[in-house]
Amino acid sequence: MIKVEKLSFGYPEEAKNALQDISFQVPEGSFVVLCGQSGSGKSTLLRHLKKEQIPAGKKTGSVRIAGESIVHMSDRNSCQWIGYVGQWVEEQIVTDQVWHELAFGLENLGIDREEMQIRVAEMAEYFGISNWFDKKIDRLSGGQKQILNLAAITVMQPKILLLDEPTAQLDPIGAERFLQTVKKLNEDFGITVILSEQRLEQALPLADQVLILHKGRLLGQVSPQKLPTFLIEKEKEYGREFPISAGMPIGIRLVKKALELDTDYSLPSAKLSSVLAPLTIKDGKEWLSNWCQAFCQHSFPKTKKILQENHMKAEKKNKSFALVAKEISFGYQRHDTLLKDLWVSIPKGCIYGILGGNGAGKSTLLKLFSGIYKPQHGKIRSNGTCVYLPQNPKLMFTELTVEEELMEVFLYNRKKQGNSIFHQTSCQNKDNQQLPEQLSQVKKILKILHLEEQSQSNPMDLSGGQAQKLAFGKLLLMEADLICLDEPTKGLDALGKKELAKLLQACQEIGKTIIIVSHDISFCANYTQYCSLLFQGRFVATAKTKDFFKENRFYTTQTRKLASLSFPDCLTDEDLLKEMEERMRQEKKIL
Amino acid sequence: MKKLKWNQRHPITIFLHASMMLLGTMLTMHPVMLFLSLIGAFMYGMVIEGKKWWQQFRWCIWIFAIEMLFFPCFRHNGVTPIASIGGQAITLESVLYGFFMSILLISSYAWFRVISFWIDEERLLYLFGSIWSSFGLLLSMIFRFLPMLRQRYREIQEVQRGLGRGNKNLSLPEQIYLFGKNSSTLISWALEHTIETTISMESRGYGIGKRTTFHRFVFRLQDVFWCIGMIALEMIWGLGFIKRYYVMYYFPALEMQWNSKTQFGIIIYAIGMFSVAVTELCVFMFRKKEVS
């Protein structure tokens, strides 16, 4: 169906090609997941498969769809056959009403009204949109909007769907629903799907094949079950670990680790490699118990009893708190209270995670903490200044270059000392040299954040991760003591998350307190010290992170779900892999 | 708002009726007709909004005050003086003229308000879209964009407040400076948004050929009857209007047309004004009985 031959592409004014010598074929009706860390050329590759979206630059090689070169395809066929959904949910919506959005593509094709009516009705039924068919689009949730985007494409009856990180901006439930819908489209109508995705845990079980991109090159095309062996081979070839390996779902990482550890065990290894890598938790559990039977016959898993002490109480007396909230209540409407009598005390110098479902009031709570809203009842006392980093950090940027963006902070710092903000600007314009101290401070921050190369570019042009770093830098310069982060891991890949975590830990070391609101359970499990679950306007559970996730059966990390029987002490991927290695070593000693 | 029958009519029928009501109100100064129009609009308004409707008309007292007390001080036509200010007479004709002018203004406002309930965005879109398709789309995009812009600006403001830059601690020039900065963020966001939207439009085939417009309205047999009826009424009334049967002179002396032709015109006018409200009221009462 899709045939790409020796495709290379470079953006203008960039020395290095964004895509290098890419060839692959996608058979009709298959579901392909495209993975790679951000900046590896996933979006660029997807854009080359749709005529209207091909970016400007040097391009060699060819892309053929159903035997026809994509460049020579007629406009009508191109927009009818190839559907594209990107990650920006809002931006893809054109009109103000659901029914009109569904009809938009058909209107453009000039299809007559009777047929349009049938097609729109059909799609609304198929996607389960009929309940909100009459609504205005700004009343929909993010997940619904993205489903609508998909439906508005599908109504044109495409043969190929190109999805560029469609779930990056969605919450886990919305993402799951979206991916299931895509899978259903693929199975019911044989639509070929190419999906680029960061949430591999959810996407890989759906895929027939996986394409892996690394720095603009295609590593290969494999079925997801064979990923572990494939990655090991390629890593041997390249001589180092790919960052994408760390972003793989736990099942694949487990098998990969087992195979790597198993160099001198000939017999069980052969047994294992014939087993396909587990993609779901259920298969993973089975695989892990098999592994334990094969390797841990001598050292049975020690079942440590989880101590259910409440450390919080003991520590409360010794520790000082960065923020104490007592009995706060808040609601947007008069009779509808979102937060009810919420108590929380956040210890100084920790990373504190707040978890909870959609619309539980997590973001609202952060806004209350940072003083954007005032609680209707109760008191919040914070020890030092508390600032808020929004989900979309670009909302914070007002200047033209990254450097100016950071310098801008000093205007307001000056304000705190009692001067007008203009006092600063006037001398800044005359002579930049007057502020060597501040400039060097900015340079230092840029260096810490690895943003030196971007120091003269527009903050709006930064990628998601970079924008977040810059926003973080601003907050650091403001000398805030408490930093509230709203969904900081949204749209970041595994490497981005790791960098963010490093940054957070560095901040923690210099004594800042950090509050994270997140849907990302594994991130919270890895990097926070305390976690709270917000439900029905209150914190229903607050504990040290380890205890928090161990006590929960359902609301916990994938690893914990998978290894709750065989490795009861492991919460995160890294824990589990380490534990496996340890056990292997013991086994070898005994033998 | 209650679910009404008339709201579900075809936009063309609604538009015809609405324009008829507005023209009928605004073209004539005949006191009987004005009162009929006012009663018609209020009847409908009550059916739609109930008690809330009256709250909208508190400011109308000011219209009466200005038209009946303020303007007559400067308008000295008329032959029946009732008082004098500074040697200038305030005439009865002038006060009466002001009274009926206020009625005209208020009933026009009331009709506009009623019409705003009839013609929602979808119907407006249809009415414009059927004349000029791209303009219809443009309207639809504006309807989406404006609320989004407002929401975005609120978010930007919130973020600035979250950085401790609330309006409270800033002086006025500083507030203006901050406003400028926030607007620039908003504009760059809006531009970027538009680019993405254009890509989305293009990849869904915008501009590849002649567009058709989709709508969800059906022109039913009832619509045909309504339209024919309304056009007939309008033509009969319009004929009388052209022949100047419904003229009311306020100056220099009051002079009201009141012959059989005028009376006939008034009956026609009343039918036009009340037809919809009465049918609606019947349906409303009938439904209530059904429920109980």
- Are B145 and B163 contacting, i.e. CB atoms less than 8 angstroms apart? no
Token pair, residue B5, equals 């029958």
Nearest CA in chain A to B147: A138
Is residue B140 situated within a structural domain?
no
- Are A18 and A9 contacting, i.e. CB atoms less than 8 angstroms apart? yes
- Which of A80, A82, A89, A95 would you mutate first to test chain B, the one with the most B CBs within 10 A? A95
Tell me the CA distances in angstroms from A569 to A251, A302, A525, A542, one per residue in order: 18, 9, 13, 19
CA distance B25 to B20: 8
Candidates A117, A387, A484; nearest CB to B164: A387
Cβ-based contacts under 8 A for chains A and B = 163
Cβ-based contacts of B130 with chain A (< 8 Å): none
CA distance B221 to B224: 5
Please give chain A's pLDDT, 591 residues, in tens.
889 999 999 888 778 888 989 999 999 999 999 988 887 888 889 989 988 888 888 889 989 988 888 888 888 888 889 999 988 888 899 988 898 899 999 988 888 888 999 999 988 999 988 888 888 888 888 889 999 999 999 999 999 999 998 988 888 888 889 999 999 999 999 999 999 988 888 889 899 999 998 888 898 898 888 888 888 888 888 888 888 888 888 888 888 888 777 665 544 555 555 567 788 888 888 888 877 777 666 555 554 444 444 445 545 555 688 888 888 888 887 777 888 888 888 888 889 999 888 878 888 898 898 888 888 888 888 888 888 888 888 888 888 888 888 888 877 766 666 666 555 444 444 445 456 777 888 888 888 888 888 888 888 888 878 888 888 888 888 888 889 998 888 878 888 888 889 889 988 888 889 999 988 888 998 899 999 988 888 888 888 888 888 877 778 888 888 887 778 778 888 888 888 888 777 777 776
Cβ-based contacts of A371 with chain B (< 8 Å): 161-162, 164, 166
Asked if A412 lies within 8 A of B140 by C-beta distance, the reply is no
| 3-state SS string for B202-260 | HHCCCCCCCCCCCCCCCCCHHHHHHHHHHHHHHHHHHHHHHCCCCCEECCCCCEECCCH
- Quick one: which of A388, A382, A432 has its CA closest to A410? A432
pLDDT of residue A420: 60
pLDDT of residue A191: 93
Candidates B164, B203, B210; nearest CB to A79: B203
To the nearest whole percent, how much of chain B has pLDDT over 90?
13
* Chain B 139-158, residues with CB within 8 Å of chain A CB atoms: 140-141, 143-144, 147-148, 151-152, 155-156, 158
CA distance B269 to A37: 73
Is residue B238 situated within a structural domain?
yes
Is residue B70 situated within a structural domain?
yes
Q: Which residues in chain A are classed under CATH 3.40.50.300?
A: 2-222, 316-556
Q: Is B218 on the interface with A (CB under 8 A)?
A: no
Cβ-based contacts of B147 with chain A (< 8 Å): 138
- B91/B13 same-domain check: yes
Q: Which amino acid is it at A76?
A: R
Asked if B144 lies within 8 A of A103 by C-beta distance, the reply is no
Cβ-based contacts of B141 with chain A (< 8 Å): 94-96
Q: Which amino acid is it at A445?
A: I
Q: Could you name the CATH architecture of A316-556?
A: 3-Layer(aba) Sandwich (3.40)
Candidates B197, B209, B214; nearest CB to A106: B214
What is the average pLDDT across B28-47? 88
Superfamily of domain A2-222: P-loop containing nucleotide triphosphate hydrolases (3.40.50.300)
Cβ-based contacts of A50 with chain B (< 8 Å): 203
Asked if B182 lies within 8 A of A398 by C-beta distance, the reply is yes
- B109/B159 same-domain check: no
**How far is C-alpha B6 from the chain's CA centre?**
16
Cβ-based contacts of B203 with chain A (< 8 Å): 50, 52-53, 79, 84
- B196/B230 same-domain check: no
Q: What is the DSSP string of B143-167?
A: HHHHHHHHHHHHHHHHHHHHTT--G
Cβ-based contacts of A396 with chain B (< 8 Å): 159, 163
Asked if B141 lies within 8 A of A111 by C-beta distance, the reply is no
pLDDT of residue A582: 82
Q: At what angle do helices B260-291 and B11-27 cross, to 10 degrees?
A: 140
CA distance B23 to B19: 6
Candidates B144, B208, B211; nearest CB to A95: B144
Q: Is B209 on the interface with A (CB under 8 A)?
A: yes
- B159/B264 same-domain check: no
pLDDT of residue A421: 56
Domain span holding position B121: 6-125+226-291
Q: What strands lie across the sheet with A351-356, from one edge to the other?
A: A386-389, A482-486, A513-517, A351-356, A530-535, A538-544
pLDDT of residue B4: 67
- B49/B193 same-domain check: no
- Quick one: which of A81, A96, A84 has its CA closest to A149? A84
Cβ-based contacts of B182 with chain A (< 8 Å): 398
Q: Is B267 on the interface with A (CB under 8 A)?
A: no
Predicted complex ipTM exceeds 0.90:
no
* Sign of the four-CA dihedral A515, A521, A522, A526: positive
pLDDT of residue A354: 92
- Are A324 and A381 contacting, i.e. CB atoms less than 8 angstroms apart? yes
- B236/B121 same-domain check: yes
Is residue B218 situated within a structural domain?
no
H helix or E strand, kind and range, residue A505: helix A494-509
Distance between B168 CA and the closest CA of chain A, angstroms: 12
Q: pLDDT band at B102, cuts 50/70/90?
A: very high
Q: Which amino acid is it at A477?
A: L
Token pair, residue A27, equals 């058979």
Candidates A84, A111, A370; nearest CB to B203: A84
H helix or E strand, kind and range, residue A541: strand A538-544
Asked if A371 lies within 8 A of B181 by C-beta distance, the reply is no
- Are A453 and A397 contacting, i.e. CB atoms less than 8 angstroms apart? no
- B167/B25 same-domain check: no
Cβ-based contacts of B215 with chain A (< 8 Å): 113
- B108/B54 same-domain check: yes
Candidates A76, A415, A422; nearest CB to B208: A76
- B45/B120 same-domain check: yes
- B105/B37 same-domain check: yes
Nearest CA in chain A to B174: A421
Distance between B189 CA and the closest CA of chain A, angstroms: 8
Which residue carries 């949430």 as its tokens? A199
Cβ-based contacts of B153 with chain A (< 8 Å): none
Asked if A387 lies within 8 A of B210 by C-beta distance, the reply is no
Candidates A94, A388, A421; nearest CB to B162: A388
Candidates A53, A421, A475; nearest CB to B177: A421
pLDDT tens per residue across span B57-78: 888 888 888 888 888 888 777 7
Candidates A86, A113, A395; nearest CB to B212: A113
pLDDT of residue A435: 63
* Sign of the four-CA dihedral A114, A118, A119, A123: positive
Distance between A559 CA and the closest CA of chain B, angstroms: 36
Q: Is B191 on the interface with A (CB under 8 A)?
A: no
Query: How many domains is chain B partitioned into structurally?
Result: 2
Helix, coil or strand: residue B55: helix
Asked if B206 lies within 8 A of A420 by C-beta distance, the reply is no
